[in-house]
Structure 1
Amino acid sequence: MPNIKSAIKRVNSTRVTEERNISQKNAMRTAVKRAHSAIEANADDKSQLVSFALKKVDKASQRNLIHSNKAARIKSSLMTAAK
C-alpha cells in the first residue's frame, strides 16, 4: 500500500475506473450475447436487441475498452447474422 497521499488517491481512482470499465465491458458482452441468441431464435425483438448491442459496442470502442477492429468484427458478425 502506498504511503504518499497522491499515490493513495491514484490507487483509489484507478480502482473506481477499472470497476467502471469492467462493468461497461460486461454490459456490452451481455448485449451481444442476447442479440445473437435472439437472432438464432428468430425472436420478435431481434432488431431492437441488435441495435442496442451495436450501440454498446460503439460506446466501448469509443471509450477504448475494446480495439476499433474488434468492434468492427463484432458489428459485422451481428449484421451478417441478422440478415
Structure 2
Amino acid sequence: MANKSKSAKKRVRQDVKRRLRNKSVLTSLKTQLKLYKESLSSGAENKDELFRKVVSSFHKAASKGVIHKKNASRNISRISKLS
C-alpha cells in the first residue's frame, strides 16, 4: 500500500467523525418519526408536539447537510398528510 499524504490521513479522520455524527442524527430522526406515527395510531394527546419535533429535526438535519434539503421537504410533506 502506498504512503498516504498528510491531507489524505486528515480526510480519513474527518470522514470517520462525520459518519458517526450523521449516523446518530439519522437514527434519532427514525426514532422520532416512529414515535410520531405510533402517537397517531394510538390517538395520543401530544401528537402536535411530536409533529413539531419531527419537522424541526428534519429541517436541522437538512441544514447541517446530513440529508438533502428536498429529502427533508418530501418527508415533512408526507408526515403532514398523515395528521
Same fold per superposition (TM over 0.5) = yes
How do 1:1-83 and structure 2 match up within 5 A?
A: 3-82=4-83
Residues paired across the two proteins, number: 82
**Structure with the larger RCO, 1 or 2 (CA within 8 Å, 6+ apart):** 1
State the TM-score, normalizing by the size of structure 1.
Answer: 0.83
Unaligned runs of 5+ in 1: none
Query: 72-81 or 47-56, which moves further after superposition?
Result: 72-81
- RMSD over aligned Cα atoms: 1.7
| CA–CA distance in structure 1, aligned partners of residues 69 and 12 of structure 2 | 28
Using the TM superposition, give the Cα deviation of residue 73 of structure 1 relative to its aligned residue in structure 2, in angstroms.
1.6
Q: TM-score, normalised by structure 2?
A: 0.83
